[in-house]
Amino acid sequence: MDMRGDASGFLSSHPNSPLISLHHLDMVEPLFPLMDRFQSAAHLMTAAGLDQTRILQQTICHHRPTNWTFSISWGYTSHIYERILPRSYLQNPIATFKEWAHANPRPPHWMFDVRPPVNHPCETPHVFFLESAKETPDGQEIVTIYKRQWRRRLPPCLFSGNHSADYVFRVRVYTPTSKRTQTDKCECCDVTRVTESSIAEVKIRTCMENEMIA
């Protein structure tokens, strides 16, 4: 990662390709809140140890009753947006990070498009970081749980019907233990549970033929 500062924006919208390596970790902040760099790297590897083919792979799905968009960076973060947003927008990382070297003082500083950080109820996500990862007892699925570390401190998105996600404290994601075979293609997901119990649930699956994923 040739960047400095907070790399969470980049890692939460990692390019649709397998993660090869993480370098220059000494130049970025710890990847997880309340952990140092060593602890953060070890925590990320707990998920990678269960499925290296999915680590940091972005999966996006929508919950129409609430007009929410879920963006899962597998094994790292889960974002909830209080608005239906397209994949083409969310695949651009939020520029929480800074350039590593100042070779070019003028933008663009990156070989990819970025989204500037905003403080807007319809575009600022609720952020949840990986809390745990484990296989189910029957060995059929991997369960990753993402926990909110801080509140967004914004009003609900009125544009999408005033459905606040403030009450969601954890996002539980179910993934098949079968490895990804087509690493150049994204997977799809379904939001299977959104209740007042503070836990939202998402199930990752193979995209169906002709499924709209743009």
Q: For residue 109, what pLDDT band results from cuts at 50, 70 and 90?
A: low
For residue 201, being part of any structural domain is answered with yes
pLDDT at position 207 over 60: yes
pLDDT given at position 8: 87
- Please report which confidence band the pLDDT of residue 100 belongs to, taking 50, 70 and 90 as the band edges: low
The domain in which residue 61 lies consists of 4-206
Q: Is residue 142 in a domain?
A: yes
**pLDDT given at position 16:** 61
Whether 91 is in a domain gets the answer yes
Give me the pLDDT at residue 185, please: 76
Q: What is the pLDDT of residue 122?
A: 95
The rounded mean pLDDT for the chain is 86
Residue 168 lies in a domain: yes
More confident call, 2 vs 50: 50
Q: Is pLDDT above 80 for 144?
A: yes
Number of domains observed in the structure of the chain: 1
Mean pLDDT of 148-172: 92
CA distance 80 to 214: 18
Beta strands of the chain (E only): which ranges?
A: 3-5, 58-63, 68-73, 77-81, 97-99, 126-135, 141-148, 170-176, 188-194, 199-205
Q: Can you tell me the mean pLDDT for 169-191?
A: 88
The confidence score (pLDDT) of residue 80 equals: 97
Amino acid at 20: I
- Residue 105: pLDDT band (50, 70, 90) is low
For residue 211, being part of any structural domain is answered with: no
> Is residue 175 a part of any domain in this protein?
yes
* Contact (CB, 8 A) for 171 and 204: no
Assign 3-state DSSP to the chain and report helix, strand, coil percentages, each to 5: 10, 30, 55
Q: What is the pLDDT of residue 14?
A: 66
Q: How confident is the model at residue 99 (pLDDT cuts 50, 70, 90)?
A: low
Contact 31, 97 (CB under 8 A): no
pTM of the model as a whole: 0.88
Residue 192 covered by a domain: yes
The stretch 68-94 carries a mean pLDDT of 94
User: CB–CB of 171/197 below 8 Å?
Assistant: no
Q: Give 70's strand partners.
A: 61, 80
Residue 214 covered by a domain:
no
